[in-house]
Amino acid sequence: MQINGAQAVLKALEHEGVDTVFGMPGGAILPVYDPLIDSKIRHILVRHEQGAGHMASGYAHATGKPGVAIVTSGPAATNMVTALLDAMMDSIPMVCITGQVALPAIGTDAFQEADTTGITMSATKHNYLVTDVNDIPQIIHDAFHLATTGRPGPVLVDIPKDLVLPDSMMEWYEPDGHDLPGYNPVTEGDPVAIVEAAKMVMEAERPVIYSGGGILRSRAAAELLALAEMTQIPVVTTLMNRGGFPDDHELNLGMPGMHGNYTAVMAMQQADLLIALGARFDDRVTGARDEFAPDAKVIHVDIDPAELGKVRFAHVPIAGDAKSIIAEMVKEVDKLGGAAAQPDRDAWRQTLSGWQEKYPLVYGDHEPGKLLKPQFVIEKLRDASPDDTIVCSGVGQHQMWASQYWTFNHPYTWINSGGLGTMGYSVPAAIGAQVGQPDRTVWAVDGDGCFQMTSQELITAAVERIPVKIAILNNSWLGMVRQWQELFYDERFSETSFGSEIPNYKMWAEAMGCVGFRVDSPEEVEPTIQKANEITDRPVVIDFRTQAEENVYPMVPAGASNSDLLVDPSQRGE
Give the residue numbers marked as catalytic.
Answer: 49, 111-112, 161, 480
If one asks whether residue 306 binds another protein (CB under 8 A), the answer comes out as yes
3-class secondary structure, 24: coil
Sign of torsion, CA 473 475 478 479? negative
Cβ 293 to another protein, closest distance in Å?
20
One character per residue 369-408, x = contact with another protein (rule: CB under 8 A): ----------------------------------------
Cβ 123 to another protein, closest distance in Å?
10
Nearest to 506 by CA among 461, 424, 451, 454: 451
Footprint (CB under 8 A) of another protein, residues 143-162: 146
State which of residues 27, 175, 305, 503 lies at the interface with another protein (CB under 8 A).
305
Nearest to 247 by CA among 87, 411, 121: 411
Q: Which stretch binds another protein (CB under 8 A): 167-175, 200-208, 305-313, 331-339?
A: 305-313
Cβ closest to another protein, residue 180 vs residue 558: 180
Cβ 475 to another protein, closest distance in Å?
36
Q: Is the peptide bond before 554 cis (omega within 30 degrees of 0)?
A: yes
Q: Kindly compute the dihedral angle of the four CA atoms of residues 57, 61, 64, 65, in this order, to the nearest 10 degrees.
A: -20
Q: 221 with 214: CB under 8 angstroms?
A: no
State which of residues 15, 219, 284, 310 lies at the interface with another protein (CB under 8 A).
310
Q: 467 with 539: CB under 8 angstroms?
A: yes
Q: Please give the helix or strand (H or E) that residue 42 lies within, else none.
A: strand 42-45
Cβ 143 to another protein, closest distance in Å?
10
One character per residue 176-215, x = contact with another protein (rule: CB under 8 A): ----xxxx--------------------------------
Bridge partners (DSSP) listed for residue 526:
none
Cβ 244 to another protein, closest distance in Å?
24
Cβ closest to another protein, residue 125 vs residue 382: 125
One character per residue 104-123, x = contact with another protein (rule: CB under 8 A): -------------xx--xx-
Q: Which stretch binds another protein (CB under 8 A): 208-216, 298-306, 345-353, 373-381?
A: 298-306
State which of residues 166, 294, 309, 354 lies at the interface with another protein (CB under 8 A).
309
Burial 499-516, CB ≥16 within 10 A → b, else e? eeeebebbebbeebebbb
Cβ closest to another protein, residue 145 vs residue 538: 145
Nearest to 295 by CA among 556, 559, 562: 562
Task: Report d(CA 234, CA 263) in Å as an integer.
Answer: 11
Task: Report d(CA 81, CA 75) in Å as an integer.
Answer: 10
Binding region for another protein (CB under 8 A): 117-118, 121-122, 125-126, 129, 131, 146, 180-183, 304-306, 308-310
